[in-house]
Amino acid sequence: MPWECGLKRVHPVRKSDLPSKTCPVCTRPFSWRRKWSRNWDEVRYCSEKCRRSRKANGA
C-alpha cells in the first residue's frame, strides 16, 4: 500500500482568504478588518460613513 495515512489537510491563511461582505449602501465588497474581529457577524457596512448614511436615508 502507498502512503495513505498522511491525509491531513492544511489550510494556509492568506489575505485573500479573509471573509468579506457587500456594503448595502455603496454596494462595494469589503473585507474583514481587525477592528471587526469581535463583531464581524454584526458588521453590515464598509465604514461608519455608509452606516450613517444608511440611517439617514432610512426612516
Residue 23 in contact with Zn ion, rule: CB under 5 A: yes
Residue 26 in contact with Zn ion, rule: CB under 5 A: yes
- C-alpha cell at position 36: 471587526
Shortest Cβ distance from residue 5 to Zn ion (Å)? 48
Indicate the helix (H) or strand (E) that contains 30.
strand 29-31
Q: 11, 16, 46, 56: which one contacts Zn ion (CB under 5 A)?
A: 46
Residue 43 in contact with Zn ion, rule: CB under 5 A: no
Burial of 37 (0-12, 13-18, 19+ CB in 10 A): exposed
Q: Under the rule (CB under 5 A), what is the footprint of Zn ion? A: 23, 25-26, 46, 50
